Amino acid sequence: MKLIVGNWKMYPRKLGDAKAIVGKLKFPAKKLPRTKVVVCPPTLYILPLVALLGRSPILLGAQNTFTVDEGAYTGETSPAALVSSGATHAIVGHSERRALGEDDAVVAQKAIAAVRSGLTVVLCVGEAVRDPGGAYFTEVGRELRASLSGFPKNMTKRLVVAYEPIWAIGSSALRAATPEDFREMSIFIKRNLVDRFGKSAGFSVPILYGGSVDEKNAGGFLKEGGADGLLVGRASLDPERFSEIVRVAVNTR
Ligand code: PGA
């Protein structure tokens, strides 16, 4: 099963434009074989898009959530409220949120609260720079362990890890990582997950690649890179490109 997640970030400005993007998505079949598609729009658009999507195979996710289900936390979004609005997934620990001050401890609490509420967590990890000495492995390993602190072993079925090297994200990125970069790191991540959760639970956590994914490089990550899926930023806002990425995933065995 491949998982394709679109992270719309804080785009578009208007609900009408969000509806138009979703309306233009064209997938090869109503039921996508071996592929799950999750669109993560700005939180306010989740509810109207759930209504618009009806019985389409597209699922909806949030780009962030909070550490508890309810309480005196002005302005936060409860994971329970997300579930009751129709969201099935939540991205947690995206580097753009970490850059705003979210630390590993908060990320870990959010991941736990999200899975306890019934969401599937897409936990993002990734190094800021790649040093020739390979210290980035240590950095990612440390971030992963700290972001999974206290995560219940019996909830790993609701855990997905997205490897997103920060240097490969966004329009100022030098380049995407290579499928080989991803393959190496995903083996390392898997080893850490096995250490943390045991063989069978650790091995079954899907690992996605994210960072400048487009319709041209998607196949390389899925096939040569062995990615279980992709976390797509910019290209997910273009219905033609995102549809093509999904088509590539459907056709990758
Ligand atoms: P990008 O974003 O595909 O635009 O590089 C990826 C992400 O930030 O999740």
Q: What is the pLDDT of residue 197?
A: 98
Q: Which atom of ligand 1 is nearest to the CA of 162?
A: 9
- Residue type at 178 in one-letter notation: T
Is position 89 annotated as part of the catalytic site?
Answer: no
Q: What is the pLDDT of residue 27?
A: 85
Q: Mean pLDDT of all residues in the chain?
A: 96
Per the residue annotation, which of 89, 94, 127, 143 is the catalytic one? 94
Protein residue with its CA nearest to atom 2 in ligand 1: 233
Q: What is the pLDDT of residue 231?
A: 98
* pLDDT tens, position by position, 68-113: 999 999 999 999 999 999 999 999 999 999 999 999 999 999 999 9
Q: Which residues pair with 35 in a beta bridge?
A: 2
Q: What is the pLDDT of residue 54?
A: 86
pLDDT over 80 (residue 30): no
Whole-model pTM: value is: 0.97
pLDDT over 90 (residue 66): yes
Is position 164 annotated as part of the catalytic site?
Answer: yes
Three-state SS string across the chain, please? CEEEEEECCCCCCCHHHHHHHHHCCCCCCCCCCCEEEEEECCHHHHHHHHHHHCCCCEEEEECCCCCCCCCCCCCCCCHHHHHHCCCCEEEECCHHHHCCCCCHHHHHHHHHHHHHHCCEEEEEECCCCCCCCCHHHHHHHHHHHHHCCCCCHHHHHHEEEEECCHHHCCCCCCCCCCHHHHHHHHHHHHHHHHHHHCHHHHHCCCEEEECCCCCCCHHHHHCCCCCCEEEECHHHHCHHHHHHHHHHHHHCC
Q: How far is the CA of 198 from the centre of ligand 1 (A)?
A: 31
Q: What is the pLDDT of residue 210?
A: 98
Q: What length does the chain have?
A: 253
Pocket probe mutation, ligand 1, options 5, 7, 9, 238, max atoms within 8 Å of Cβ: 7
Give all domains of the chain, ordered by start, each with its CATH number: 2-250 (3.20.20.70)
Q: How far is the CA of 166 from the centre of ligand 1 (A)?
A: 9
* pLDDT tens, position by position, 154-212: 999 999 999 999 999 999 898 899 999 999 999 999 999 999 999 999 999 999 999 99
Q: Which atom of ligand 1 is nearest to the CA of 168?
A: 5
